[in-house]
Structure 1
Amino acid sequence: MIYNDILDGLKFYEAGKPIELVVREYGIKADDVIKLASNENPLGCSPLVKEAIAKNAHLASIYPDDSYYELKGALADKFGVKRENFIIGVGSDQVIDVCVKAVANENRAVLQSGISFAMYEIYTLQAGAKLIKTPTPTHNLAEFKELYEKQKDNIGVIFLCLPNNPLGECLDFSEVYEFLGCVSEDTLVVLDGAYQEYASFKDSAKSIPVKSVIEKFNNVIYLGTFSKAYGLAGLRVGYGIASSELIKGISRIRPVLNVGSISAKAAVAALADEKFLRESLSLNFSQMLEYETLAKELGLEIIPSYTNFITLKIKDSSKLALNLLRKGIIVRDLASYGMDALRISIGTASQNSRVIEAIKGEIG
């Protein structure tokens, strides 16, 4: 088989190890495995979501409404915009793919922070475009602006991950707003808010006022997902919010019938349960304190996190990740990003206690 040259050297996204794989490889019972590598909600999903899935099981044999009228309506109510301001995707990463393919090419590059969501790079290379990274791993808008000013005509897409995955830091929106004013309308700016629910809960200065942003900037799209705070990682529902003109343009690339009927119904139900969302966010940050205490006790550096994970800088992180895996604890080693660090999703109190004791046993 002769493949396109673009596949040469193309990286695969490294997904978190599934529990089933750890069971097979290490002979550990499934109930004894803790998966804290993929930033999933440890509380699962809302009871309303479970009811919606059961109630709409008959839709498994029916193609979805490709307009996603009900879901867009629920989202429009949440954000105070219109249905025509939305594009629905299989997770927000499909919307990332659509954005890149709609704008980037061999003559129009993509700009991102030094370390950020791996799919930015993968989709950029798939589009045959060049990826430009800032020297600093975290978001440094002075570096973004300098790089952009030097190559303004050759940069088609800018990604700002707010807060940033896999590091956890987040810019104040006032800084972002000032930066947006320096970007040409011919450059698409993607504000990736996959973890915005967490950032907004922890610090209102990090909150993105989506409605006012898309009304002010026609070249900006905000991305959200149901995979994190809402606990629908297995159903794969994401969305983008932008001006109707921008949505109309990029929607020409969106695959038809891309999100299933049951997934769409579940997402609508998830939006209706604000109590579950608040409980999830509250648990997350109360339990994150346990890891911050651990870092102080062991003299480890952490990156202040506005997400549902925490990044611990640890020497020989790959060795520690493997030792934890042998104990049935799955975390994300960031060695593939060129950083000696572990990214640990915040779990339940019992899960976190076990992880913390295991880390103390290894390096304490």
Structure 2
Amino acid sequence: MQPSLRVTPPQSFRSSPPPTPPPTVKKASDATARIIAKIKARRSGLSSSNEPWVSYPLSEDQYTELTQQVQSDASLRGYVNQDLRHDFIPSVGRLVFRMPTYLHEWVISSVVEEVSRQLRVIGAGDSAAAAFARAVVARGSPTLDFTETGFGRHDPDAQFRHLDAQYPGVVMEVSYSQKQKYTPYIAEDCILGSDGDIRRVVVMDIGYPNSKKATMSSWKPSVVLNEAGELELIAEQTIVDMIFRDEEGNPNPNEEAGLTLQLRDFATETLSGPDLTESIRIPASKLYSYLTEAEKNMAKLKQKQGAVRETRPWVRKRRRLETPPEELDDNREAKFRKIEEKAISQAEKDDSSYKTTPDEEWSLE
């Protein structure tokens, strides 16, 4: 997000005595103010939504305005830039807040761990492929920002990047029902925004409504001729909803089904060549086991059946003492809290008259 410009009015517009200097950025529009209030609610733990994927309609101009407002507010800037996982999908005009669940994190971490393990196996040798594999690392969910070229901003669930590459070669997402219709646009943004340097986007859909069904899809960059005879870069879907668990909860019996990644997929063509013929494969049966294990473990934790220590030899628990820089002025903190709650309350009132399409109703907190 870019810092805003400071604007000073001409001298001829000033009266005597001089007014208070103007704010760094102009007043937020209603749409932007509503979203800022939602962000403040999340930061304060006052959000009424615990959905893993919550989206709001927002145009590119409004997103630019939101960015300027956030960057001008020191109290929001750090939270939004570092803690709030979010996406802006310009092709459909949506701003998305992400809040991954335990199930989501378990599944994606299992897949990342297995891919990393197979990369280590390939990297154990002394060939060019081994050297390449050793340079590929899992990098969590660093932001992919393509806003300057019109392809949005994304915080993917996982990514693998070669140490010498600008962009990850492989991006992974775990999707729920709310997210499913947007994942093709995210895949397209990642591939087109990186000029094809992101070579695979893999999406696992594990949240079909009223069903145990789970599927996997995949996209890759492809150059095609358009009707005018010009070459165009597109995001080609190579796997379409491959089932790894059916609606009744059974695994896919097809031994050929699964996720296969070529070693050369993990970096831009500048770093990888056709001689990298090794591949990484996770069969559908293993994807099935990752999901079922995650569900069983999540149920155990929810029912508080996990092991805990049996004895507590202490009399009481003591928190650390606050150091002077961390001490808060009670009056200032109370005042800040009151202002923030007022903004949230106003935003909720605004939302009551904020018209949405049926498709958008589920996405508003």
The alignment's TM-score, normalised by the length of structure 1, stands at: 0.25
Q: Which has the higher contact order (CA 8 A, sep 6+)?
A: 1
The alignment's TM-score, normalised by the length of structure 2, stands at: 0.25
Q: Determine which structure has the larger strand proportion and give its number.
A: 2
Q: Determine which structure has the larger helix proportion and give its number.
A: 1
